[in-house]
Chain A
């Protein structure tokens, strides 16, 4: 993360010499008044919950009544809890598949939308629609499609093997969740990739065309390296947000059949609010926090190294 940040401010911070300093020295207090209320509220509503969550992860608090400090036993129990381990397995598998699919599909659509096609503006408008739709409600619509329409269609097509309700199968329900997620999430990534593609100068392609570079070669040697930063950020952010999957699961399977599609967020929500496992689920949440941080850092590291080697 530090990498990203320092890169972000670098181009902008440069053109300011020490002259700023004299101005600020004159009115330092105003600047403090500008930030202090925000800091206080942010600390109160964000940092305190995180810290108190970390504290309660060391207790046997049920969410009500009294509690005792139990040390790290919640953490030890987590690693022996099949339901929790399953949710990690499901969430990671889901997030990896969805991230790859969303990025491949969004990049392909963005490339198409960026080339010489008719009705370019209209198509752009269409592909961005899912972004403004609530994923919970989209989940309900897809739920009906998976349960009623698709089985009928597949039966009519003579594919009885596919005529069951996808969401009712413990082995395949996750596919339905991936489809719904990709449908909704691709929109935003398309826009980002389009923005990236538009920063590439047309001259480069003309030069490449003169050199006789094929379409694939142009993509591999020009387009992809030049949108490397967009690729990195899309990968990191989609993966991170898919690890927090919640709404679409509530709408599609409610974690079922059985517990086969329970995500980490869903387990924390259920155990914490309905199962009297407040302290225990806070331990789960703390582990989850560290997992997300480590994964994001690793992803940034690896992807940025790849990015650098291209340029």
Chain B
């Protein structure tokens, strides 16, 4: 599995039946009078600048003309050059890269949700059988396989099978995410009472019917989590598209920055405009759906 999965998704082996929404801990660092801790608020505010300042820097640099560079770089632009964005748009062929990234991400999320939960369901409900238990550990073991050992052979294989395309990437994300996703799906499915399925079975539902009508809807909190993690991974991934994609017109947003960087690395404002355009879509989605994203990721870790 590539870096992303490993670095950005963390399973929690413990799934205590503790309430997910435990009462918010009331920690009284100020001695217990229950008021707002203003010193701590100020401290946190200062710390949050470490996140915000590089972002501010990216934005102002993207708006400058080359002769305004110099200095510390944090100065506000004296005159704004919007053409940086137009130039970056053309140089990186932005719409194409955006389209490729969006297609790959949507495809990977869609296929992952459809298949990984199904596999996890079959495994979770048959854990007492050797075959399924073995399968569970077979998939889980892959969490510890570093991507570089797969990297060289998989390039040969995808080229051979004609999978060196966005479609191939979707398949790879789906398969490489399986290890971790099964881990959290199985833990979650185990907490769903079997009685629900039995009721559906008595009404004549098949195993498929039970899955799609009963289990899949109940999985929506986990689906949200897996969806978010897969989305962030597929959108930002660099190494897998770098080695797998053979057609230059299939390049993704991070890949476009990489190639563009090599060719035009002198014009920083245009480069930063390009970076900003590549970062913006996910950043905007995050700002809009912030609460939802954070709770989704948290849920994955608590369950």
- Residues on A lying within 8 angstroms of B by beta carbon are 1, 4-5, 7-9, 11-13, 15-16, 19-21, 23-24, 27, 30-32, 34-35, 37-39, 41-42, 44-46, 48-50, 52-53, 56, 63, 109, 111-119, 121, 123-138, 140-142, 144-145, 148-149, 152-153, 156, 183, 185, 188-189, 191-192, 194-195, 197-202, 205-206, 209, 215, 218, 229-230, 233-234, 237-238, 240-247, 250-251, 264-265, 268-269, 272-273, 278, 281-282, 285-286, 288-289, 292-293, 296
B3 within 8 A of A: yes
Answer whether residue B72 sits at the interface, using C-beta atoms and an 8 A cutoff. yes
Query: Taking each of A133, A206, A250, A289, which has the highest tally of chain B beta carbons within 10 Å of its own beta carbon?
Result: A133
Q: Are B148 and A244 in contact (CB under 8 A)?
A: yes
Query: What are the residues of chain A within 8 A of B123 when measuring CB–CB?
Result: 35
Are B51 and A130 in contact, CB atoms less than 8 angstroms apart?
Answer: yes
Closest 4 pairs between A and B when the two form their complex, measured CB to CB = A12-B190, A241-B7, A134-B236, A49-B153
> Which residues of B approach A to under 8 Å, CB–CB?
2-3, 6-8, 10-19, 21-30, 32, 34-38, 40-41, 43-45, 47-48, 50-52, 54-55, 57-58, 61, 69-74, 115-116, 118-119, 121-123, 125-128, 132, 135, 137-155, 157, 171-172, 175-176, 178, 183, 186-187, 190-191, 193-194, 197-198, 201, 206-208, 211, 232, 235-236, 238-239, 243, 253-254, 257-258, 261, 268, 271-272, 275, 278-279, 282-283, 285-287, 290-291, 293-294, 297-298, 301-302
A205 partner, pick from B10, B26, B140, beta carbons under 8 A: B26
Chain B residues positioned under 8 Å from A32 (CB to CB): 122
Complex Cα distance A148/B12, Å? Answer: 41
Task: Let me know if A134 and B253 touch, CB within 8 A.
Answer: yes
Q: Which residues of B contact A189 (CB under 8 A)?
A: 10
Least CB distance, A68 to chain B, in whole angstroms: 18
Measured in the bound complex, the distance between the Cα atoms of B152 and A288 in whole Å is 14
A251 proximity list for chain B (CB < 8 A): 261
- Complex contact B57–A141 (CB within 8 A): yes
A30 adjacent to B206 (CB under 8 Å): yes
Q: Of A144, A272, A278, which is within 8 A of B61 by CB?
A: A144
Contact A247 B238, beta carbon cutoff 8 Å: yes
In the bound complex, how far is the Cα of B191 from the Cα of A16, in angstroms?
10
The answer for the CA separation of A9 and B187 in the assembled complex, in Å, is 6
A238 contacts B7, C-beta separation under 8 Å: yes
B49 smallest CB distance to A (angstroms): 9
From B23, B143, B152, A281 is in contact (CB under 8 Å) with: B152
Find out whether the CB atom of A241 lies under 8 angstroms from the CB atom of B148.
no
State whether A192 and B301 are in contact (beta carbons under 8 Å apart), knowing that A1-B144, A53-B153, A183-B50 are contacts in the complex. yes
Residue of A nearest to B137 (CB): A5
Is A131 within 8 A of B232, CB to CB? yes
- Distance in angstroms from A264 CB to nearest chain B CB is 7
Query: Contact check: which of B21, B22, B28, B279 meets A201 at CB < 8 Å?
Result: B22
Q: Which residues of A contact B18 (CB under 8 A)?
A: 199
